């Protein structure tokens, strides 16, 4: 379900996916799931692809820049632990990224923190759990009228004063 009232943008989520060599298998599997999900309108794959060797910071930064520029609604990134991708993506002003390995953290990353970027660790979680977390992530939306909105606004204001 997408469109008004669902929290999913009209036309579906525009998702950027990316990985380094350590996350290629999961990125490919999750990308296939995203392409088959009716809540997803478009998937932009930044790589790596089979045979490519691009370090995680380049992919994490590129994905986050697309989110910050409004070219994508969200990004899903995979590396060995998810940590490097999250650190990289968080360097882009206006982007909030997190590594999550359980359903509750995935939910709260969006609902409490308005994270647009989910990172996963191929060496940390099993593929079926990673697929489940990606599906659940698509169903969560941030409510700007929630009790968490004031907390997110503090982060946004700090970033704007520091980077803007």
pLDDT at 8: 83
Whether the Cβ atoms of residue 118 and residue 78 lie closer than 8 Å to each other: no
Confidence of residue 5 (pLDDT cuts 50, 70, 90): low
Domain boundaries defined on the chain: 13-161
Q: How crowded is the C-beta side of 42, counted as CA atoms within 13 Å?
A: 11
Architecture (CATH level 2) of domain 13-161: 3-Layer(aba) Sandwich (3.40)
Q: What does pTM read for this prediction? A: 0.94
Distance set, CA 106 to CA 153, 156, 163, 164 (Å): 20, 20, 27, 29
Beta partners for residue 117, in sequence order: 75, 97
What would the pLDDT profile of 107-124 be if each residue is shown by its tens digit? 999 999 999 999 999 999
Please provide residue 79's backbone torsions phi and psi, each rounded to the nearest 5 degrees. Answer: -140, -160
Active site residues: 79
């Amino acid at each position: 379900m997408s469109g008004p009232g669902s929290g999913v943008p009209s036309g579906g989520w525009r998702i950027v996916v990316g990985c380094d060599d350590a996350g290629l298998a999961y990125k490919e599997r999750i990308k296939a799931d995203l392409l088959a999900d009716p809540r997803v309108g478009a998937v932009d794959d930044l790589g790596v692809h089979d045979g490519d060797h691009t370090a995680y910071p380049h992919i994490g930064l590129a994905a986050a820049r697309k989110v910050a520029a409004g070219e994508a609604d969200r990004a899903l990134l995979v590396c060995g632990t998810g940590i490097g991708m999250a650190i990289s993506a968080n360097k882009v002003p206006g982007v909030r990224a997190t590594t999550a390995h359980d359903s509750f953290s995935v939910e709260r990353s969006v609902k409490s923190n308005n994270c647009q970027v989910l990172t996963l660790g191929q060496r940390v979680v099993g593929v079926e759990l990673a697929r489940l977390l990606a599906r659940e992530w698509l169903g969560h939306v941030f409510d700007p009228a929630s009790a968490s909105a004031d907390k997110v606004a503090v982060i946004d204001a700090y970033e704007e004063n520091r980077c803007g």
